[in-house]
Amino acid sequence: MQMLDAAGARRKPATGAEVTDQTPAADVLYQEAHDAMGRRDARGAIDLLELMLQQVDENAHAWRLYGFALREEQRMGDALAAFRRAEMLAPEDALTATAIAQTEVQCGLTALKSARRALALTPSSPSLILTLASALSAEGRKDDAIDALAAELERNPSWLEGQYRVAEMRWTDGDQLNYARGYEAAALREPQNLRLRLAWFRFVAQARDWPAARRILADAERMFGAQTVFPVARAYLAAESGEYAQAETLFRQTEGLNDEVRDLAWIRYCLRTQRAAAAEPTALRLLRTPSANLAWPYLSLIWRIAGDPRAEWLDGAPPFVRAMEVGISAADLEELAELLRGLHTAKSPYIEQSVRGGTQTERPLFFRTDPIIERTKARISEAVREYIDLLPPRVAGHPLLGPPRNQVLYAGSWSVRLLQQGYNVAHTHPLGWLSSAFYVSLPAKDDMGKPPAGWIRFGAPPADLGLGLAPYAQVEPRVGRLVLFPSTMWHDTVPFAAGERLVLAFDVRTPSR
């Protein structure tokens, strides 16, 4: 028996493994594959399932599990083919229908029909309503997407993911006055729901709407009385909004709490008030938690201020930044630029992102099945592999040099389109291992402005920290150039005079093997 390819045609198993007299029985292979997925060993599961499916081709559960394993390995076309094979064998299976709809959305395909079919099998599934909203938004029907989410929120006001998504969609659609009205309406309907009020507070605080954040927090305190979370939230709010005397008192009151929000707010507060050394113990403690990638960038600043050689150990000397020419043709770059421009449908950048004066795309670009995306991804992946192979030897405990290096999967991929005077504020990528900028289209030289207008810079901290540290590297953008760097490294871009600066960017996932 042979596997199916993305178009439904038969192909040989990817592993080349063939059934022999010593091959375990199909049910044993399925259980071992299921266990492998539980260990997050998707590649091992794929090997086992391909052996199984040579023995038993008509097993819908095996095809569905095969699809999940392929999707985990980011073989999206193959995954979709496997899910569709499972659907042929079990047309009423709700989990398979859900997998098809969600994978189609991820691949940038028209997914409305699949999302509605899946919802018919699993009515009012929150995850599927999010999928339907994404499918509607992708077809330019953002109002319908918001309506679909709002209808479910009428039934379930405490659905926090839905509340966030509606507020985010309103924000990116240009509504920066009433974007959070869904949270407010839900809080009126469920006044005793503390989690809902805190989610509302976090969203408006992320928008740096300090008066609204104060009102929400004050109302919650009046309603719920003393709660550990309130002094932490007030400390964060005071520190980030510049009320340093109040922040000092609140940080003393909350000292000793094991709270990530408090810890990060304290680190930033210490840097703002020229007490970097006081922040170091907290940042070092965070390295022992899942929030380590949030702490490393601040340790870089702390060590640089102190003249500590660990800053160079962390960021490299010279920095671990490399500019590479990927070798994509001018014709392909033009085709890629046309596709990317069509995906920039938002009116405002996402609330939590670094873009100023431009927009960012929504769904993962590298999961799309457009031929130009697949060709671009293949060339870029070769360059990523080259960057990894040229890194110094592994160093235990180092965020870049410590992990294994025989796997390249992507934690995210998107496009940023900046227009006149657009730029990115200093930021890092806590979900990635390696990060990037690939330049697809740039303004004419005269439009860009005097160098370093439009350049990417490394090492300059966020301006609101007031540290005055200069960047220690900067790279000129060129069409077709790829810049790779550690995800923990601070980076920003310089505003440019006029025109369009179109970039494809991605994060490489920290390898697990």
Average pLDDT of the segment spanning 28-53: 96
Sign of CA dihedral 14, 15, 18, 24: negative
Tokens of 182: 């869904």
Give the pLDDT confidence score for residue 264 in this predicted structure.
97
Whether the model clears a pTM of 0.95, i.e. scores above it, the answer is: no
Q: Which helix (H) or strand (E) holds 268?
A: helix 260-272
Tokens of 507: 């994060």
C-alpha closest to that of 210 among 181, 233, 183, 186: 233
pLDDT of residue 293 exceeding 60, the answer is yes
- DSSP per-residue string spanning 457-469: EESPPPGGG---P
Cis peptide before 319 (omega within 30 of 0): no
> Max CA-CA distance within the chain?
76
Range name among 10-24, 223-237, 285-299, 372-386 with the lowest pLDDT average: 10-24
In angstroms, the CA 296 to CA 273 distance is 20
Average pLDDT of the segment spanning 289-308: 97
Task: Provide the pLDDT confidence category of residue 87 given band limits of 50, 70 and 90.
Answer: very high
Give the pLDDT confidence score for residue 11 in this predicted structure.
44
pLDDT of residue 167 exceeding 70, the answer is yes
Residues in the chain, total = 513
> How wide is the angle at C-alpha 386 spanned by C-alphas 385 and 389, nearest 5°?
85
In angstroms, the CA 422 to CA 432 distance is 24
Residues whose CB is less than 8 angstroms from the CB of residue 331 and which lie 6 or more positions away in sequence, other chains included? none
Instruction: Give the three-class secondary structure for 506.
Output: strand
Bridge partners, 145 (sequence order) = none
pLDDT of residue 5 exceeding 70, the answer is no
Domains and CATH numbers, the chain: 3-135 (1.25.40.10), 322-508 (2.60.120.620)
Tokens of 171: 């924000």
Task: Provide the pLDDT confidence category of residue 19 given band limits of 50, 70 and 90.
Answer: low
pLDDT tens by residue, 22-39 = 678 999 999 999 999 999
**Using an 8 Å Cβ cutoff, are 178 and 172 in contact?**
no
In angstroms, the CA 108 to CA 321 distance is 31
